[in-house]
């Protein structure tokens, strides 16, 4: 709000603001608020009292604030910490490995006189146009590679993304001066040193952009976990979230429970504020990291959108 009044004051000094601009601003503010409401709802209902919520329903301004939801989350205890650990492990390993592997690949695709450049680019692009689909991936990964219940399946299959390689390649080709690489080579640096000591450090803005997108992709991946992971100690957060929803549904749809018992349980089945508290725990880290990376990935997307 403060920035806005400031910038409008600045502008007023130059020229009068047309009324159309005020209307536009109000409309955009309304759209932004409507977009933000569902996210706010997660946070407010996570901090509201379970019983009041069950009685009066979800609302943006809870009548009774409470931490009971988070207490209930802690009841998942060990599994929550295990899942957090698994998700962090997958996200960090996948993002670091992916950035390194994709950057090296992108670099080799920028070498002008590299005879295999065309072939490698083709290999990179085809998966964007044609894929085996979920079923064949599932069958190949489990019955040919025998990798069911392996954490590697949560990391490796999505580690190289065509779009991201293109962004990195465009960045190297467009923003890192070729003379810099040439002079390193003339000074006797091998290709590996040229890449790791000159090119890689200069790729920071592109790495931040792609890195954040990779990290959210790994953090949010539920499908591979649902398909491949069976054992509790390998369950990532997203799968835990799915399991929570399934167990609530099973409890509520079980007609064998007498209504009186169900009513007594309603307060204790972690249904409303507790699940929202879990959602906060799951999306929290992304929300915290987002502001730091925001300007990089807007830039990164813009680089990638320039047809390379």
Partner 1 sequence: MKTLKKIWKHRAHVVMALPALVLLIVFDYVPMGGLILAFKKFDYRSGIWGSPWNGLENFRFLIASKSIFLNITKNTLMYYVIFTALGMFLEIVLAIALDQLVFKRAGKWMEAVLIIPVFISYTAVQFIVYAFLSSDTGMLNHLLGKSVRWYSNPAYWPAILTIVKMWNGTGYGAILYMSVLAGIDPQLYESAQIDGAGKWQQILHITLPSLVPMITVMLLLSVGGIMHSDTGLFYQVTRNSGALYETTQVIDAYILNSIFQNSNFGFTAAASFFQSVVGTVLILISNGIVRKLHPENALF
Contact 69, 49 (CB under 8 A): no
d(CA 65, CA 166): 48
Least distance between partner 1 and beta carbon 71 (Å): 18
For residues 221-241, one letter each, b for 16 or more C-beta atoms within 10 angstroms of the residue's C-beta and e for the rest, the string is: beebbeebbeeeebbbbbbbb
Residue of the chain from 191, 261, 264, 267 that contacts partner 1 (CB under 8 A): 191
118 is a site residue for partner 1 (CB under 8 A): no
Backbone angles phi, psi at 163, to 5 degrees: -55, -45
Give whichever of 17 and 180 is closer to partner 1, judged by the CB atom. Answer: 17
> What would the two tokens of residue 107 be?
């670099």
- Binding residue (CB under 8 A) for partner 1 from 13, 19, 35, 256: 35
Q: Identify residues 61-100 at the interface with partner 1 (CB under 8 A).
A: none
CB 210 → partner 1: shortest distance, Å? 13
8 versus 197: smaller Cβ distance to partner 1:
8
- Site for partner 1 contains 23 (CB under 8 A): no
Nearer to partner 1 (CB atom), residue 82 or residue 240? 240
Q: How far is the CB of 262 from partner 1 (least distance, A)?
A: 13
Q: What is residue 65's three-state secondary structure?
A: strand
101 contributes a contact to partner 1 by CB under 8 A? yes
Q: Is 186 in the site for partner 1 (CB under 8 A)?
A: no
Q: Length of the chain in residues, anyone?
A: 308
CA–CA separation, 273 and 65 (whole Å):
10
Backbone phi, then psi, for 43, in 5-degree steps? Answer: -70, -45
Compare residues 40 and 261 and give the one whose CB is closer to partner 1: 40
* Of 13, 78, 135, 256, the one binding partner 1 by CB under 8 A: 135
Q: Considering only CA atoms, which of 89, 56, 82, 65 is closest in space to residue 277? A: 65
Q: Which is nearer to partner 1, 217 or 257 (CB)?
A: 217
From CA 181, how far away is CA 195, in angstroms rounded? Answer: 8
CB burial readout 10-19, b (16+ within 10 A) else e: eeeeeeeeee
Q: Which stretch binds partner 1 (CB under 8 A): 16-24, 61-69, 71-79, 177-185?
A: 16-24
Candidate ranges 68-76, 143-151, 179-187, 255-263; the one touching partner 1 (CB under 8 A) = 143-151
> Shortest Cβ distance from residue 11 to partner 1 (Å)?
6
Find the binder of partner 1 among 92, 96, 123, 264 (CB under 8 A). 123
269 binding partner 1? (CB under 8 A): no
- Residue range at the interface with partner 1 (CB under 8 A); choices 64-72, 77-85, 171-179, 296-304: 296-304
> What is the rounded distance in angstroms from the CA atom of residue 1 to the CA atom of residue 20?
19
Q: DSSP assignment of 161-177, as one string?
A: -HHHHHHHHHHHHHHS-
**Total of residues contacting partner 1 (CB under 8 A):** 103
């Amino acid at each position: 709000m403060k920035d806005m009044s400031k910038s409008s004051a600045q502008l007023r000094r130059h020229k009068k603001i047309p009324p159309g601009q005020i209307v536009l601003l109000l409309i955009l503010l309304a759209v932004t608020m409507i977009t933000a409401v569902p996210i706010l709802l997660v946070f407010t209902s996570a901090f509201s009292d379970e019983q009041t919520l069950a009685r009066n329903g979800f609302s943006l301004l809870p009548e009774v604030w409470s931490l009971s939801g988070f207490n209930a989350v802690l009841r998942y205890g060990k599994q929550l910490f295990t899942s957090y650990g698994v998700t962090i492990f997958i996200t960090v390993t996948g993002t670091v490995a992916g950035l390194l592997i994709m950057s090296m690949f992108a670099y080799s695709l920028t070498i002008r006189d590299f005879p295999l450049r065309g072939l490698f680019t083709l290999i990179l692009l085809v998966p964007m146009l044609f894929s085996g689909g979920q079923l064949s991936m599932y069958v190949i990964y489990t019955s040919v590679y025998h990798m069911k219940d392996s954490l590697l399946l949560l990391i490796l299959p999505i580690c190289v993304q065509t779009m991201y390689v293109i962004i990195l390649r465009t960045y190297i080709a467009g923003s890192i001066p070729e003379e810099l690489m040439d002079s390193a080579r003339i000074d006797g640096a091998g290709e590996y040193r040229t890449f790791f000591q000159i090119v890689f450090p200069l790729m920071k803005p592109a790495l931040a952009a792609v890195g954040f997108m990779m990290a959210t992709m790994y953090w949010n991946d539920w499908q591979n976990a649902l398909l491949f992971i069976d054992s509790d100690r390998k369950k990532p957060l997203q799968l835990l979230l799915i399991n929570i929803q399934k167990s609530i549904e099973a409890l509520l749809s079980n007609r064998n429970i007498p209504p009186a018992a169900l009513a007594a349980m309603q307060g204790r089945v972690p249904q409303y504020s507790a699940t929202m508290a879990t959602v906060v725990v799951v999306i929290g880290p992304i929300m915290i990291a987002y502001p730091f990376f925001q300007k990089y990935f807007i830039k990164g997307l813009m680089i990638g959108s320039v047809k390379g």
